Structure 1
Protein backbone atom coordinates (compact mmCIF):
# COMPACT_ATOMS: atom_id res chain seq x y z
CA UNK A 1 0.00 0.00 0.00
CA UNK A 2 1.41 3.37 -0.98
CA UNK A 3 1.65 6.11 1.56
CA UNK A 4 0.27 9.59 1.13
CA UNK A 5 3.57 10.91 -0.16
CA UNK A 6 5.19 7.92 -1.86
CA UNK A 7 5.48 7.94 -5.67
CA UNK A 8 3.25 5.06 -6.75
CA UNK A 9 2.38 3.98 -10.28
CA UNK A 10 -0.07 6.82 -10.94
CA UNK A 11 2.38 9.46 -9.69
CA UNK A 12 5.08 8.18 -12.00
CA UNK A 13 2.68 7.99 -14.92
CA UNK A 14 1.48 11.54 -14.28
CA UNK A 15 5.05 12.81 -14.42
CA UNK A 16 5.79 10.82 -17.55
CA UNK A 17 2.68 12.06 -19.40
CA UNK A 18 2.99 15.68 -18.31
CA UNK A 19 0.11 15.88 -15.81
CA UNK A 20 0.65 18.03 -12.73
CA UNK A 21 -0.96 15.49 -10.36
CA UNK A 22 -2.08 11.87 -10.18
CA UNK A 23 -5.70 13.05 -9.83
CA UNK A 24 -5.77 13.45 -13.61
CA UNK A 25 -6.29 9.69 -13.93
CA UNK A 26 -9.48 9.92 -11.85
CA UNK A 27 -11.12 12.24 -14.36
CA UNK A 28 -9.66 10.23 -17.25
CA UNK A 29 -11.45 7.15 -15.92
CA UNK A 30 -14.73 9.05 -15.50
CA UNK A 31 -14.42 10.42 -19.01
CA UNK A 32 -13.73 6.97 -20.44
CA UNK A 33 -16.68 5.33 -18.65
CA UNK A 34 -19.32 8.07 -18.80
CA UNK A 35 -18.27 10.50 -21.59
CA UNK A 36 -19.01 13.49 -19.38
CA UNK A 37 -17.22 16.10 -21.52
CA UNK A 38 -18.06 16.33 -25.21
CA UNK A 39 -16.14 18.33 -27.85
CA UNK A 40 -16.96 22.03 -27.60
CA UNK A 41 -18.47 21.77 -24.12
CA UNK A 42 -18.27 24.47 -21.44
CA UNK A 43 -16.70 23.10 -18.25
CA UNK A 44 -16.58 24.54 -14.73
CA UNK A 45 -13.97 23.04 -12.38
CA UNK A 46 -14.53 23.86 -8.69
CA UNK A 47 -11.47 23.33 -6.55
CA UNK A 48 -9.19 23.16 -9.59
CA UNK A 49 -5.82 23.18 -7.78
CA UNK A 50 -3.24 22.06 -8.80
CA UNK A 51 -4.68 21.95 -12.34
CA UNK A 52 -4.69 18.29 -13.37
CA UNK A 53 -8.45 18.28 -14.06
CA UNK A 54 -8.02 21.44 -16.16
CA UNK A 55 -5.60 19.49 -18.34
CA UNK A 56 -7.93 16.50 -18.80
CA UNK A 57 -10.96 18.73 -19.40
CA UNK A 58 -9.12 20.69 -22.09
CA UNK A 59 -8.00 17.47 -23.76
CA UNK A 60 -11.60 16.23 -23.80
CA UNK A 61 -12.79 19.37 -25.62
CA UNK A 62 -11.08 18.20 -28.78
CA UNK A 63 -9.21 20.42 -31.26
CA UNK A 64 -9.08 24.16 -30.74
CA UNK A 65 -11.35 24.83 -33.73
CA UNK A 66 -14.19 22.93 -32.05
CA UNK A 67 -14.44 25.61 -29.40
CA UNK A 68 -15.47 25.15 -25.81
CA UNK A 69 -14.07 26.54 -22.57
CA UNK A 70 -12.74 25.41 -19.19
CA UNK A 71 -13.05 27.69 -16.16
CA UNK A 72 -11.26 26.68 -12.98
CA UNK A 73 -12.06 28.23 -9.60
CA UNK A 74 -10.06 27.69 -6.43
CA UNK A 75 -9.38 29.53 -3.19
CA UNK A 76 -5.68 29.15 -4.01
CA UNK A 77 -3.99 30.91 -6.90
CA UNK A 78 -3.58 28.34 -9.67
CA UNK A 79 -1.32 28.69 -12.68
CA UNK A 80 -2.73 27.07 -15.81
CA UNK A 81 -0.39 24.18 -16.75
CA UNK A 82 1.53 24.67 -19.96
CA UNK A 83 1.05 21.06 -21.10
CA UNK A 84 -2.33 19.73 -22.31
CA UNK A 85 -3.89 23.22 -21.97
CA UNK A 86 -4.55 25.95 -24.51
CA UNK A 87 -6.20 29.37 -24.68
CA UNK A 88 -9.60 27.91 -23.78
CA UNK A 89 -8.52 27.34 -20.15
CA UNK A 90 -8.73 29.99 -17.42
CA UNK A 91 -8.05 29.75 -13.68
CA UNK A 92 -9.65 32.21 -11.26
CA UNK A 93 -8.81 32.70 -7.58
CA UNK A 94 -12.13 32.98 -5.71
CA UNK A 95 -13.84 31.51 -2.66
CA UNK A 96 -16.57 29.18 -3.91
CA UNK A 97 -18.42 29.42 -0.60
CA UNK A 98 -18.99 33.17 -1.08
CA UNK A 99 -19.63 33.05 -4.84
CA UNK A 100 -23.05 33.91 -6.25
CA UNK A 101 -24.63 31.88 -9.03
CA UNK A 102 -25.06 35.05 -11.08
CA UNK A 103 -21.31 35.64 -10.91
CA UNK A 104 -20.54 32.08 -11.97
CA UNK A 105 -22.99 32.18 -14.85
CA UNK A 106 -21.40 35.38 -16.12
CA UNK A 107 -18.15 33.44 -16.56
CA UNK A 108 -19.76 30.96 -18.96
CA UNK A 109 -19.81 31.43 -22.76
CA UNK A 110 -22.60 33.86 -23.73
CA UNK A 111 -23.67 33.63 -20.05
CA UNK A 112 -25.73 30.54 -20.90
CA UNK A 113 -24.36 28.39 -18.12
CA UNK A 114 -22.07 25.35 -18.18
CA UNK A 115 -22.68 21.94 -19.71
CA UNK A 116 -20.36 20.17 -17.23
CA UNK A 117 -19.54 21.04 -13.61
CA UNK A 118 -16.73 19.22 -11.82
CA UNK A 119 -16.24 19.58 -8.07
CA UNK A 120 -13.01 18.19 -6.65
CA UNK A 121 -13.30 20.28 -3.49
CA UNK A 122 -12.25 18.62 -0.26
CA UNK A 123 -11.46 20.12 3.16
CA UNK A 124 -8.07 19.58 4.81
CA UNK A 125 -8.27 16.14 6.41
CA UNK A 126 -7.88 16.41 10.20
CA UNK A 127 -8.27 12.72 11.02
CA UNK A 128 -11.48 13.34 12.98
CA UNK A 129 -14.03 11.44 10.92
CA UNK A 130 -17.14 13.34 11.95
CA UNK A 131 -15.50 16.73 11.41
CA UNK A 132 -14.08 15.84 8.00
CA UNK A 133 -17.37 14.31 6.87
CA UNK A 134 -19.38 17.37 7.92
CA UNK A 135 -17.10 19.74 6.01
CA UNK A 136 -17.10 17.48 2.97
CA UNK A 137 -20.90 17.41 2.97
CA UNK A 138 -21.02 21.19 3.15
CA UNK A 139 -18.68 21.60 0.19
CA UNK A 140 -20.72 19.04 -1.75
CA UNK A 141 -23.94 20.85 -0.95
CA UNK A 142 -22.40 24.11 -2.12
CA UNK A 143 -21.39 22.58 -5.46
CA UNK A 144 -24.88 21.15 -5.83
CA UNK A 145 -26.43 24.52 -5.01
CA UNK A 146 -24.36 26.30 -7.65
CA UNK A 147 -25.22 23.65 -10.24
CA UNK A 148 -28.98 23.26 -9.90
CA UNK A 149 -30.16 26.11 -7.71
CA UNK A 150 -31.10 26.44 -4.11
CA UNK A 151 -30.49 23.50 -1.81
CA UNK A 152 -33.33 23.92 0.64
CA UNK A 153 -33.59 22.74 4.22
CA UNK A 154 -36.53 22.92 6.66
CA UNK A 155 -36.13 24.70 9.95
CA UNK A 156 -36.99 23.31 13.35
CA UNK A 157 -40.61 24.32 12.99
CA UNK A 158 -40.82 22.64 9.62
CA UNK A 159 -42.65 25.48 7.93
CA UNK A 160 -40.00 27.94 6.71
CA UNK A 161 -37.38 27.19 4.08
CA UNK A 162 -33.80 28.43 4.12
CA UNK A 163 -30.79 27.86 1.95
CA UNK A 164 -27.64 26.04 2.96
CA UNK A 165 -24.17 27.47 2.37
CA UNK A 166 -25.19 30.76 0.75
CA UNK A 167 -24.21 33.85 2.72
CA UNK A 168 -25.86 36.32 0.33
CA UNK A 169 -29.03 34.59 -0.77
CA UNK A 170 -30.93 37.85 -1.16
CA UNK A 171 -28.39 39.14 -3.69
CA UNK A 172 -28.45 35.91 -5.72
CA UNK A 173 -31.39 36.16 -8.12
CA UNK A 174 -30.52 33.00 -10.06
CA UNK A 175 -32.51 30.15 -8.51
CA UNK A 176 -32.09 27.64 -11.36
CA UNK A 177 -28.34 27.09 -11.05
CA UNK A 178 -25.61 27.39 -13.67
CA UNK A 179 -25.78 23.84 -15.06
CA UNK A 180 -27.62 23.59 -18.36
CA UNK A 181 -30.48 21.18 -18.98
CA UNK A 182 -28.98 17.81 -19.93
CA UNK A 183 -25.67 18.76 -18.30
CA UNK A 184 -23.43 16.57 -16.15
CA UNK A 185 -22.21 17.04 -12.59
CA UNK A 186 -19.39 15.41 -10.57
CA UNK A 187 -19.08 15.92 -6.79
CA UNK A 188 -16.35 14.58 -4.52
CA UNK A 189 -17.38 13.51 -1.02
CA UNK A 190 -15.92 11.52 1.84
CA UNK A 191 -17.57 8.16 2.47
CA UNK A 192 -20.24 8.35 5.19
CA UNK A 193 -23.87 7.51 5.86
CA UNK A 194 -24.78 11.15 5.15
CA UNK A 195 -24.01 10.65 1.44
CA UNK A 196 -27.31 8.82 0.96
CA UNK A 197 -29.05 12.22 1.03
CA UNK A 198 -27.05 13.43 -1.96
CA UNK A 199 -27.70 10.30 -4.02
CA UNK A 200 -31.42 10.35 -3.27
CA UNK A 201 -31.75 14.01 -4.24
CA UNK A 202 -29.64 13.76 -7.40
CA UNK A 203 -31.61 10.77 -8.68
CA UNK A 204 -34.65 13.02 -8.70
CA UNK A 205 -32.86 15.81 -10.59
CA UNK A 206 -30.77 13.81 -13.06
CA UNK A 207 -31.43 10.98 -15.47
CA UNK A 208 -28.63 8.95 -13.89
CA UNK A 209 -26.71 9.23 -10.60
CA UNK A 210 -24.09 6.69 -9.48
CA UNK A 211 -21.14 6.42 -7.12
CA UNK A 212 -17.60 5.82 -8.39
CA UNK A 213 -14.34 5.19 -6.60
CA UNK A 214 -11.64 5.69 -9.26
CA UNK A 215 -8.73 3.27 -9.49
CA UNK A 216 -6.28 6.14 -8.97
CA UNK A 217 -7.71 6.80 -5.49
CA UNK A 218 -5.26 5.91 -2.74
CA UNK A 219 -6.25 2.87 -0.71
CA UNK A 220 -6.09 4.91 2.51
CA UNK A 221 -8.44 7.61 1.17
CA UNK A 222 -12.17 7.73 1.92
CA UNK A 223 -13.03 9.93 -1.06
CA UNK A 224 -15.77 8.89 -3.46
CA UNK A 225 -17.36 10.63 -6.43
CA UNK A 226 -21.03 11.18 -7.18
CA UNK A 227 -21.51 11.23 -10.96
CA UNK A 228 -24.77 12.74 -12.24
CA UNK A 229 -25.70 12.71 -15.92
CA UNK A 230 -28.49 14.44 -17.82
CA UNK A 231 -29.99 17.20 -15.70
CA UNK A 232 -33.77 17.09 -15.98
CA UNK A 233 -35.93 20.06 -16.83
CA UNK A 234 -37.02 22.04 -13.79
CA UNK A 235 -40.68 21.18 -14.30
CA UNK A 236 -39.96 17.45 -14.26
CA UNK A 237 -38.00 17.45 -10.99
CA UNK A 238 -39.44 16.08 -7.76
CA UNK A 239 -39.16 19.07 -5.43
CA UNK A 240 -38.49 18.91 -1.71
CA UNK A 241 -36.25 15.86 -1.87
CA UNK A 242 -33.08 17.23 -0.35
CA UNK A 243 -34.63 19.02 2.57
CA UNK A 244 -36.26 15.77 3.72
CA UNK A 245 -33.23 13.66 2.88
CA UNK A 246 -30.67 15.86 4.62
CA UNK A 247 -32.82 16.37 7.68
CA UNK A 248 -33.31 12.61 8.03
CA UNK A 249 -29.72 11.51 7.29
CA UNK A 250 -27.40 14.09 8.87
CA UNK A 251 -26.38 13.14 12.39
CA UNK A 252 -26.68 15.63 15.28
CA UNK A 253 -22.88 15.57 15.70
CA UNK A 254 -22.31 16.53 12.07
CA UNK A 255 -24.80 19.40 12.34
CA UNK A 256 -23.19 20.71 15.54
CA UNK A 257 -19.76 20.64 13.89
CA UNK A 258 -21.01 22.67 10.95
CA UNK A 259 -22.54 25.18 13.35
CA UNK A 260 -19.24 25.57 15.24
CA UNK A 261 -17.65 27.74 12.48
CA UNK A 262 -14.83 25.37 11.62
CA UNK A 263 -13.95 27.79 8.84
CA UNK A 264 -13.29 30.75 11.09
CA UNK A 265 -12.73 33.15 8.22
CA UNK A 266 -16.47 33.32 7.56
CA UNK A 267 -19.77 32.99 9.40
CA UNK A 268 -22.21 30.22 8.63
CA UNK A 269 -25.68 31.12 7.37
CA UNK A 270 -28.65 30.90 9.72
CA UNK A 271 -29.99 27.99 7.67
CA UNK A 272 -27.60 25.60 9.39
CA UNK A 273 -28.87 26.51 12.83
CA UNK A 274 -32.40 25.65 11.72
CA UNK A 275 -31.65 22.07 10.74
CA UNK A 276 -33.82 19.51 12.43
CA UNK A 277 -33.08 15.85 12.88
CA UNK A 278 -35.98 13.46 12.83
CA UNK A 279 -36.34 10.62 15.27
CA UNK A 280 -34.01 7.65 15.02
CA UNK A 281 -36.87 5.37 14.12
CA UNK A 282 -37.99 7.55 11.19
CA UNK A 283 -34.43 7.93 9.96
CA UNK A 284 -33.80 4.19 9.97
CA UNK A 285 -37.07 3.48 8.16
CA UNK A 286 -36.09 5.85 5.35
CA UNK A 287 -32.49 4.62 5.13
CA UNK A 288 -33.10 0.90 5.23
CA UNK A 289 -35.42 -0.37 2.49
CA UNK A 290 -35.42 -3.91 3.87
CA UNK A 291 -36.72 -2.69 7.21
CA UNK A 292 -39.37 -0.67 5.40
CA UNK A 293 -40.63 -3.80 3.64
CA UNK A 294 -40.53 -5.82 6.83
CA UNK A 295 -42.64 -3.19 8.60
CA UNK A 296 -45.30 -3.41 5.91
CA UNK A 297 -45.36 -7.21 6.16
CA UNK A 298 -45.29 -7.21 9.92
CA UNK A 299 -41.92 -8.99 10.21
CA UNK A 300 -40.12 -8.50 13.52
CA UNK A 301 -36.83 -10.30 12.97
CA UNK A 302 -35.60 -8.01 10.19
CA UNK A 303 -36.54 -4.96 12.26
CA UNK A 304 -34.56 -6.16 15.28
CA UNK A 305 -31.55 -7.02 13.12
CA UNK A 306 -31.60 -3.61 11.42
CA UNK A 307 -31.92 -1.84 14.78
CA UNK A 308 -28.95 -3.76 16.16
CA UNK A 309 -26.78 -2.96 13.14
CA UNK A 310 -27.68 0.73 13.30
CA UNK A 311 -26.97 0.83 17.05
CA UNK A 312 -23.62 -0.84 16.48
CA UNK A 313 -22.64 1.74 13.86
CA UNK A 314 -23.62 4.63 16.13
CA UNK A 315 -21.75 3.14 19.09
CA UNK A 316 -18.65 2.64 16.97
CA UNK A 317 -18.74 6.23 15.80
CA UNK A 318 -19.23 7.48 19.36
CA UNK A 319 -16.32 5.38 20.63
CA UNK A 320 -13.99 6.76 17.97
CA UNK A 321 -15.04 10.30 18.77
CA UNK A 322 -14.49 9.81 22.51
CA UNK A 323 -11.07 8.29 21.87
CA UNK A 324 -10.07 11.36 19.89
CA UNK A 325 -11.26 13.65 22.70
CA UNK A 326 -9.45 11.58 25.33
CA UNK A 327 -6.24 11.68 23.30
CA UNK A 328 -6.39 15.47 23.04
CA UNK A 329 -7.05 15.82 26.79
CA UNK A 330 -4.16 13.50 27.60
CA UNK A 331 -1.77 15.48 25.42
CA UNK A 332 -2.86 18.71 27.06
CA UNK A 333 -2.22 17.28 30.54
CA UNK A 334 1.24 16.09 29.51
CA UNK A 335 2.08 19.50 28.06
CA UNK A 336 0.93 21.24 31.24
CA UNK A 337 3.01 18.94 33.45
CA UNK A 338 6.10 19.42 31.29
CA UNK A 339 5.62 23.19 31.33
CA UNK A 340 5.27 23.19 35.10
CA UNK A 341 8.47 21.22 35.56
Structure 2
Protein backbone atom coordinates (compact mmCIF):
# COMPACT_ATOMS: atom_id res chain seq x y z
CA UNK A 1 0.00 0.00 0.00
CA UNK A 2 1.36 3.43 -0.91
CA UNK A 3 2.15 5.76 1.96
CA UNK A 4 0.03 8.87 2.49
CA UNK A 5 2.44 11.69 1.66
CA UNK A 6 -0.12 14.47 1.21
CA UNK A 7 1.20 16.45 4.17
CA UNK A 8 4.79 16.20 3.02
CA UNK A 9 3.69 17.00 -0.52
CA UNK A 10 2.03 20.23 0.56
CA UNK A 11 5.14 21.34 2.42
CA UNK A 12 7.30 20.57 -0.60
CA UNK A 13 5.14 22.84 -2.78
CA UNK A 14 5.93 25.90 -0.62
CA UNK A 15 8.65 28.02 -2.18
CA UNK A 16 11.31 29.05 0.34
CA UNK A 17 13.23 32.27 -0.28
CA UNK A 18 16.57 32.94 1.36
CA UNK A 19 17.35 36.46 2.49
CA UNK A 20 20.00 37.77 0.11
CA UNK A 21 22.73 40.10 1.27
CA UNK A 22 21.44 43.68 1.17
CA UNK A 23 17.77 42.65 1.06
CA UNK A 24 15.53 43.33 4.04
CA UNK A 25 13.79 40.48 5.81
CA UNK A 26 10.43 42.14 5.07
CA UNK A 27 11.26 42.09 1.34
CA UNK A 28 12.12 38.41 1.54
CA UNK A 29 8.83 37.66 3.27
CA UNK A 30 6.92 39.65 0.62
CA UNK A 31 8.68 37.75 -2.17
CA UNK A 32 7.97 34.39 -0.55
CA UNK A 33 4.31 35.33 -0.10
CA UNK A 34 4.06 36.39 -3.74
CA UNK A 35 5.63 33.18 -5.01
CA UNK A 36 3.22 31.07 -2.97
CA UNK A 37 0.06 33.13 -3.56
CA UNK A 38 -2.43 31.16 -5.72
CA UNK A 39 -4.00 34.39 -6.99
CA UNK A 40 -0.62 35.66 -8.18
CA UNK A 41 -0.09 32.38 -10.02
CA UNK A 42 -3.62 32.48 -11.45
CA UNK A 43 -3.18 36.08 -12.62
CA UNK A 44 -0.07 35.09 -14.55
CA UNK A 45 -1.79 32.06 -16.06
CA UNK A 46 -4.85 34.05 -17.16
CA UNK A 47 -2.96 37.09 -18.43
CA UNK A 48 -3.99 39.63 -15.80
CA UNK A 49 -1.59 42.34 -14.73
CA UNK A 50 -1.98 41.60 -11.03
CA UNK A 51 -3.88 39.60 -8.42
CA UNK A 52 -6.10 42.64 -7.74
CA UNK A 53 -8.06 41.70 -10.86
CA UNK A 54 -9.78 38.97 -8.86
CA UNK A 55 -10.90 41.44 -6.20
CA UNK A 56 -12.97 43.46 -8.67
CA UNK A 57 -14.26 40.19 -10.16
CA UNK A 58 -15.45 39.07 -6.72
CA UNK A 59 -17.09 42.43 -6.02
CA UNK A 60 -18.83 42.66 -9.39
CA UNK A 61 -20.03 39.05 -9.22
CA UNK A 62 -21.79 40.01 -5.97
CA UNK A 63 -23.04 43.53 -6.75
CA UNK A 64 -23.28 43.61 -10.59
CA UNK A 65 -22.22 47.17 -11.34
CA UNK A 66 -20.06 46.41 -14.42
CA UNK A 67 -22.86 45.86 -16.90
CA UNK A 68 -22.90 46.21 -20.71
CA UNK A 69 -23.11 49.88 -21.68
CA UNK A 70 -21.77 51.22 -18.38
CA UNK A 71 -19.50 54.27 -18.36
CA UNK A 72 -16.69 53.61 -15.90
CA UNK A 73 -13.82 55.58 -14.35
CA UNK A 74 -10.92 53.68 -12.78
CA UNK A 75 -8.91 55.91 -10.44
CA UNK A 76 -5.30 54.91 -9.88
CA UNK A 77 -5.67 52.29 -12.59
CA UNK A 78 -2.04 51.08 -12.72
CA UNK A 79 -1.05 48.41 -13.59
CA UNK A 80 -4.42 47.82 -15.28
CA UNK A 81 -5.88 44.65 -13.80
CA UNK A 82 -9.22 46.26 -12.95
CA UNK A 83 -9.45 47.67 -16.47
CA UNK A 84 -8.84 44.21 -17.91
CA UNK A 85 -11.77 42.80 -15.93
CA UNK A 86 -14.13 45.69 -16.65
CA UNK A 87 -13.61 45.89 -20.43
CA UNK A 88 -15.43 42.66 -21.39
CA UNK A 89 -18.06 43.06 -18.68
CA UNK A 90 -19.18 46.50 -19.88
CA UNK A 91 -18.76 45.38 -23.51
CA UNK A 92 -16.25 48.14 -24.24
CA UNK A 93 -15.03 46.36 -27.37
CA UNK A 94 -18.55 45.67 -28.63
CA UNK A 95 -17.95 41.93 -28.76
CA UNK A 96 -21.31 41.02 -27.20
CA UNK A 97 -23.80 41.19 -30.03
CA UNK A 98 -27.01 42.95 -29.17
CA UNK A 99 -25.61 44.43 -25.95
CA UNK A 100 -24.92 48.10 -25.27
CA UNK A 101 -21.29 49.16 -25.66
CA UNK A 102 -19.68 50.61 -22.54
CA UNK A 103 -16.80 52.99 -22.12
CA UNK A 104 -14.00 53.04 -19.55
CA UNK A 105 -11.44 55.72 -18.70
CA UNK A 106 -8.46 54.91 -16.50
CA UNK A 107 -6.35 57.60 -14.85
CA UNK A 108 -3.14 57.34 -12.87
CA UNK A 109 -0.19 59.49 -11.80
CA UNK A 110 2.13 57.14 -13.67
CA UNK A 111 2.13 56.02 -17.26
CA UNK A 112 0.19 52.80 -17.86
CA UNK A 113 0.69 50.41 -20.75
CA UNK A 114 -2.26 50.59 -23.19
CA UNK A 115 -5.10 48.06 -23.01
CA UNK A 116 -7.47 47.53 -25.92
CA UNK A 117 -10.92 48.83 -25.02
CA UNK A 118 -9.76 51.31 -22.36
CA UNK A 119 -8.84 54.98 -22.64
CA UNK A 120 -5.94 55.58 -20.25
CA UNK A 121 -4.60 58.99 -19.22
CA UNK A 122 -1.80 60.20 -16.96
CA UNK A 123 -3.62 62.55 -14.60
CA UNK A 124 -3.84 63.62 -10.97
CA UNK A 125 -7.54 63.18 -10.25
CA UNK A 126 -7.27 65.75 -7.43
CA UNK A 127 -6.03 68.50 -9.76
CA UNK A 128 -8.31 71.44 -10.55
CA UNK A 129 -10.62 70.62 -13.45
CA UNK A 130 -9.82 66.88 -13.40
CA UNK A 131 -13.49 65.98 -13.01
CA UNK A 132 -14.51 67.98 -16.09
CA UNK A 133 -11.59 66.52 -18.04
CA UNK A 134 -12.63 62.97 -17.20
CA UNK A 135 -16.25 63.64 -18.11
CA UNK A 136 -15.13 64.99 -21.48
CA UNK A 137 -13.09 61.83 -22.12
CA UNK A 138 -16.00 59.68 -20.99
CA UNK A 139 -18.52 61.56 -23.09
CA UNK A 140 -20.74 62.39 -20.13
CA UNK A 141 -21.24 61.38 -16.52
CA UNK A 142 -20.09 58.03 -15.15
CA UNK A 143 -22.17 55.08 -13.99
CA UNK A 144 -19.29 53.70 -11.93
CA UNK A 145 -16.25 55.24 -10.23
CA UNK A 146 -13.89 52.64 -8.81
CA UNK A 147 -10.61 52.90 -6.96
CA UNK A 148 -8.04 50.37 -5.77
CA UNK A 149 -5.66 53.14 -4.71
CA UNK A 150 -3.48 52.96 -1.61
CA UNK A 151 -1.06 55.52 -0.25
CA UNK A 152 2.60 54.53 0.02
CA UNK A 153 3.14 52.46 3.15
CA UNK A 154 4.99 54.13 5.99
CA UNK A 155 5.30 51.03 8.14
CA UNK A 156 3.15 52.65 10.84
CA UNK A 157 -0.27 50.98 10.79
CA UNK A 158 -2.35 53.90 12.08
CA UNK A 159 -0.62 56.41 9.78
CA UNK A 160 -1.22 54.17 6.78
CA UNK A 161 -4.86 53.79 7.79
CA UNK A 162 -5.37 57.56 7.98
CA UNK A 163 -3.64 58.08 4.63
CA UNK A 164 -5.77 55.59 2.76
CA UNK A 165 -8.98 56.93 4.34
CA UNK A 166 -8.00 60.45 3.20
CA UNK A 167 -7.32 59.11 -0.30
CA UNK A 168 -10.64 57.27 -0.35
CA UNK A 169 -12.47 60.43 0.78
CA UNK A 170 -10.82 62.37 -2.05
CA UNK A 171 -11.95 59.67 -4.49
CA UNK A 172 -15.47 59.88 -3.06
CA UNK A 173 -15.67 63.64 -3.59
CA UNK A 174 -14.42 63.13 -7.13
CA UNK A 175 -17.18 60.55 -7.62
CA UNK A 176 -19.80 63.03 -6.39
CA UNK A 177 -18.72 65.36 -9.21
CA UNK A 178 -18.71 62.82 -12.05
CA UNK A 179 -21.33 60.19 -11.17
CA UNK A 180 -24.71 60.13 -12.80
CA UNK A 181 -27.79 59.66 -10.64
CA UNK A 182 -28.07 56.02 -9.58
CA UNK A 183 -24.33 55.46 -10.01
CA UNK A 184 -21.95 53.30 -7.97
CA UNK A 185 -18.74 54.07 -6.08
CA UNK A 186 -16.31 51.24 -5.26
CA UNK A 187 -13.14 51.85 -3.26
CA UNK A 188 -10.55 50.13 -1.10
CA UNK A 189 -10.21 51.14 2.53
CA UNK A 190 -8.23 49.79 5.47
CA UNK A 191 -10.08 48.83 8.63
CA UNK A 192 -8.73 50.78 11.58
CA UNK A 193 -11.36 52.97 13.19
CA UNK A 194 -11.12 56.23 11.21
CA UNK A 195 -13.52 55.23 8.44
CA UNK A 196 -16.66 56.25 10.34
CA UNK A 197 -16.88 59.74 8.82
CA UNK A 198 -16.41 58.29 5.32
CA UNK A 199 -19.24 55.82 5.93
CA UNK A 200 -21.48 58.62 7.21
CA UNK A 201 -20.74 60.73 4.14
CA UNK A 202 -21.45 57.89 1.73
CA UNK A 203 -24.73 57.02 3.43
CA UNK A 204 -25.87 60.61 2.85
CA UNK A 205 -25.05 60.44 -0.84
CA UNK A 206 -26.06 56.86 -1.74
CA UNK A 207 -29.09 54.72 -1.05
CA UNK A 208 -27.04 51.62 -0.15
CA UNK A 209 -23.56 51.27 1.35
CA UNK A 210 -21.94 47.86 1.87
CA UNK A 211 -18.53 46.84 3.21
CA UNK A 212 -16.99 43.66 1.86
CA UNK A 213 -13.76 41.71 2.13
CA UNK A 214 -13.63 39.67 -1.09
CA UNK A 215 -12.34 36.07 -0.99
CA UNK A 216 -9.32 37.10 -3.09
CA UNK A 217 -8.21 39.62 -0.46
CA UNK A 218 -5.43 38.21 1.70
CA UNK A 219 -6.65 36.96 5.07
CA UNK A 220 -3.88 38.81 6.93
CA UNK A 221 -4.70 42.13 5.24
CA UNK A 222 -6.86 44.78 6.89
CA UNK A 223 -8.20 45.92 3.52
CA UNK A 224 -11.86 45.88 2.71
CA UNK A 225 -13.94 47.48 -0.01
CA UNK A 226 -16.85 49.87 0.24
CA UNK A 227 -19.55 49.57 -2.42
CA UNK A 228 -21.92 52.54 -2.43
CA UNK A 229 -24.76 52.26 -4.91
CA UNK A 230 -27.75 54.40 -5.90
CA UNK A 231 -26.08 57.81 -6.03
CA UNK A 232 -28.64 60.44 -5.10
CA UNK A 233 -27.22 63.03 -7.48
Distance 2:220 2:152 in 1: 15
Kindly indicate whether residue 153 of structure 2 is the aligned counterpart of residue 125 of structure 1.
yes
Deviation at 1:184, TM superposition (A): 0.6
Structure 2 segments unaligned to the other structure (5+ residues): 1-13, 16-28, 95-99
Q: How many residues align?
A: 198
Structure 1 segments unaligned to the other structure (5+ residues): 149-176, 234-341
Distance 1:96 1:77 in 2: 14
Deviation at 1:103, TM superposition (A): 2.1
Q: 1:79 to 1:73 in 2, by over 3 A?
A: same
- Name which of 24, 46, 49 aligns with 2:53: 24
Scaled by the length of structure 1, the TM-score of the pair is 0.55
Deviation at 1:63, TM superposition (A): 6.6
SS of the residue corresponding to residue 44 of structure 1 reads: strand
User: 1:61 aligns to what?
Assistant: 90
Scaled by the length of structure 2, the TM-score of the pair is 0.80
Q: Residues 3-18 of structure 1 correspond to what in structure 2 (within 5 A)? A: 4-5=30-31, 6-7=34-35, 8-18=37-47
Deviation at 1:94, TM superposition (A): 1.2
Kindly indicate whether residue 72 of structure 2 is the aligned counterpart of residue 38 of structure 1.
no
- Name which of 175, 191, 202 aligns with 1:147: 175
More helix per residue: 1 or 2?
1
TM-align CA RMSD: 1.8
Q: Residues 183-262 of structure 1 correspond to what in structure 2 (within 5 A)? A: 183-233=183-233
Is the 8 Å Cα contact of residues 146 and 185 (structure 2) preserved in structure 1?
yes
* Greater Cα radius of gyration, structure 1 or 2: 1
Distance 2:156 2:54 in 1: 28
Kindly indicate whether residue 149 of structure 2 is the aligned counterpart of residue 115 of structure 1.
no
More strand per residue: 1 or 2?
2
Distance 1:62 1:15 in 2: 23
Distance 2:92 2:106 in 1: 19
Is the 8 Å Cα contact of residues 24 and 52 (structure 1) preserved in structure 2?
yes
Is the 8 Å Cα contact of residues 77 and 107 (structure 2) preserved in structure 1?
yes
